[in-house]
Amino acid sequence: MYLPPRHAEIIQMAKDHGRVLVDDLASHFGVTPQTIRKDLNDLCDQRMLTRVHGGALFPSGIENMQYEARRKIAADEKDAIGRAAARLIPDSASLFVNIGTTTEAVSNALLDHQGLMVITNNINVANRMRVYPSLEVVIAGGVVRGADGGIVGEAAVDFIRQFKVDYAVIGASAIDHDGALLDFDFREVKVAQAIIANARHVILVADSTKFERTAPVRIGHLSQVDTFITDTCNVEAIRTICRDSEVELLETTRE
């Protein structure tokens, strides 16, 4: 399919960064935001991008995007979410840290804590935290996904079930407006479900782009968590679920 040069460059930028923003594109190309919005709408009509508030995501549909691209989406927001989650976890606590780019941001914010016991099925988290003598890192066994270093499968589930920890830090690939927490890999979902069942306090960390996405496998429901940390929540149905289910909603943009 032939694409005008600006459209082709927008697609490449979306591939490189996972997300493109209207204002950034307008500045880059020296055109008006209205022109960029039309470009994005055209590309979304061709199912080459997925439109979200303020910009667009790559790829479209329910396909999972590459891990490095996901790292770059809302990177500043994830860092702020990570710091907010770390403030909830005291020294000398035990915790699970699940697979995901936002949970990795939490692990990075925990590096100055003392006396933590961190149980994880995320090789990236274990590798980052293992060099700190004040932190004890325990890693699950199982099948290692080459794409992101996540450890999944029944062996990981059985391993997680051996523990009962103070906190769990989990993520999700998508959050439906009915409160369903969703992911792409049913093996990962089984591990996440075991983590939720074996923690006294569950912290869900997810940036607001997750409200715009979908995924086919159900982890659980928002009502099952104790604290939900995001950058901003403009979905009234989600706010209602949090309020009715006594889930503490923390928005880093409101701090």
- For the chain, which domains are there? 5-61 (1.10.10.10), 74-254 (3.40.50.1360)
- At residue 6, the pLDDT reads 92
Q: What strands, in cross-sheet order, belong to the sheet with 199-205?
A: 135-139, 116-120, 94-97, 165-170, 199-205, 227-230, 248-251
- At residue 227, the pLDDT reads 98
- At residue 60, the pLDDT reads 40
- At residue 255, the pLDDT reads 63
Contact (CB, 8 A) for 210 and 172: yes
- At residue 87, the pLDDT reads 97
- At residue 71, the pLDDT reads 61
- At residue 61, the pLDDT reads 40
- At residue 74, the pLDDT reads 72
Helix (H) / strand (E) element for 71: namely: helix 67-72
Mean pLDDT (10-residue bins), the chain, 255 residues: 84 81 93 93 85 75 52 80 97 95 95 97 93 95 84 93 97 94 90 96 95 89 98 95 97 83
3-class DSSP state for residue 64?
coil
pTM, full prediction: 0.76
d(CA 28, CA 50): 20
Question: Beta strand 199-205 with 227-230: parallel, antiparallel or unpaired?
Answer: parallel
User: What count of other Cβ atoms lies within 10 Å of the Cβ of residue 97?
Assistant: 30
- At residue 44, the pLDDT reads 85
